[in-house]
Amino acid sequence: MESAKEIWKTALDKLQIQVSKANYTTWLSNSQGISCQDDIFVVSVPSIFAAEWLSKRLYPLVRKTLVDIMGKDIDVQFVVDHHEQPRQVGATPLASQTDGGTSSRATQYRFNPRYTFDNFVVSDSNRLAYAAAVEVAENPGSSYNPLFIHSSTGQGKTHLLHAIGHLTTNNGLQATYITAEQFANEFVLAVRENQVDKFRSKFRNIHVLLFDDVHFLIDKKQTLQCFFHTFNELYNNNRQIVITADCAPKDMQPLSSKLKSRLEGGLVVDIQPPDFETRLNILRAKAETMMTSELEGVLHIIAEKVCENVRQLEGALVYLTAQAKLSGTKVTPETINKLLTGTSSRQDIKLLLQTVADHFRISTEELINKKRDRKTTLARHIAIYLMREGYNCSLSEIGKELGGRNHATILHGYEKIASELSTNPNLSNQIEEIKEKINSLKGYRTVYQTV
């Protein structure tokens, strides 16, 4: 079996051909394969920006490349190589620290080193969720069980799960973090291979289950059933369960009342979007590396302009910092305005439609109007998907851009691509290719965009 280092070298050779030269040099050339354990391939990169950028932008392509090379399904994690152990969190660990041998290193890296309690900015909007997370991390299984945290996207749910993971593993417990999507994928695979018992047994001996985005399972009956069993088994053994979702259990309509009441049986807390002061504090905490002499002014403007969620705040900061670094200029209140305004201007949408149409060798009129042959329909669905992913356009905005189509049609197109993407490498390659084209047309500005 080749080492992670060698496998990653092969992957880099393949990736080099598929991404633009600038992107390769900036984000990939200094990366290294660190380990591959339990089907998680860990890649170390020199900076937080690279880790963020790669996770946001190249994850599907990198994963696919590694899956092709290794001939099996694996997940990829990008971690920052600080040449040191991730910072220890909270109270002094009970056990003396492990010796940094390969297995303990891999276990530690499962949790994002940045997602710690120390790095979480506490405010009124998230105080309860934070306090509950600290409580269950310090006294797992004995206070709130399950702990259920819900919020809209980008408000720190995953961050808190990882923080619990850090603290509990430092205290010598076995904590497992899994997204509902991973759980569903693994379950489907286990069913196919007649290995459901083996799959379930993976969870049997853990002390803490950190289950992210449970809403993903809402319409997956069989997987839910399996989750329910796993949940009950752990719960009955006093193991701590922490679950996140985009809404409260009571609002998950199709869930059985039995499961709902299970999920509600401990403590349910929500996280609200941060107010201006909190946004500013988060930016202050994250802006250490920003090259500017007018930091406070710059941060004020970002906090004012970017309101929706913390992920976007970070995105704006990463983008501006990268911009400053690459161009060697300083970010000032003036440049910031220019950079952050009109992130999804008509111009951007026009460019996107044009690029998609060109890719399929059709005209933008055909893309927008009624033509319904297979090729044009696919192109239209991809355009919908990219508008939503890259520019966060609402369904009705997209409908308007595409000749007045209704909300349901747009949603159908988006969901079709989103659901096919993970199973259809051909489609995913095509989309990556179009994204690359859009990126190269838009220069470094795209660091801020998902496209």
Q: Rule CB under 6 A: which residues touch ligand ADP? A: 115, 119-121, 126, 151, 153-159, 282, 310-311, 314
List 150's β-bridge partners, or say none.
Answer: 245, 270
End-to-end CA distance of the chain: 35
Report the residue number, 80 or 196, with the smaller CB distance to ligand ADP.
Answer: 80
Report the residue number, 65 or 77, with the smaller CB distance to ligand ADP.
Answer: 77
Cβ atoms of residues 271 and 130 within 8 Å: no
Which span sits near Mg ion by CB under 5 A: 70-78, 151-159, 246-254, 443-451?
Answer: 151-159
155, interface contact from Mg ion, ligand ADP, none, CB < 5-8 Å by kind: ligand ADP
105, interface contact from Mg ion, ligand ADP, none, CB < 5-8 Å by kind: none
Query: Contact letters (x/-) for Mg ion, 108-147, by CB under 5 A?
Result: ----------------------------------------
Structure tokens at 94: 């009970």
Q: How far is the CB of 434 from ligand ADP (least distance, A)?
A: 26
Q: How far is the CB of 77 from ligand ADP (least distance, A)?
A: 14
Q: How far is the CB of 158 from Mg ion (least distance, A)?
A: 3
For residue 206, give the 3-state DSSP assignment: coil
Decide: is 158 part of the binding site for Mg ion (CB under 5 A).
yes
Decide: is 343 part of the binding site for Mg ion (CB under 5 A).
no
Token pair 């600080």: residue: 82
Q: How far is the CB of 112 from ligand ADP (least distance, A)?
A: 8
Report the residue number, 15 or 129, with the smaller CB distance to ligand ADP.
Answer: 129
151, interface contact from Mg ion, ligand ADP, none, CB < 5-8 Å by kind: ligand ADP
Q: How far is the CB of 279 from ligand ADP (least distance, A)?
A: 10
Sign of the CA dihedral 185, 191, 192, 198?
A: positive
Token pair 């007045």: residue: 404
DSSP assignment of 28-52: ITT-EEEEEETTEEEEEESSHHHHH
Q: How far is the CB of 203 from ligand ADP (least distance, A)?
A: 21
Cβ atoms of residues 214 and 181 within 8 Å: no
Q: What DSSP element (H or E) covers 77?
A: strand 75-80
In b/e form, how buried is each residue of 4-25, taking b as 16+ CB within 10 angstroms?
Answer: beebbebbbeebeebbeeebee
Residues that bind Mg ion (CB under 5 A): 157-158
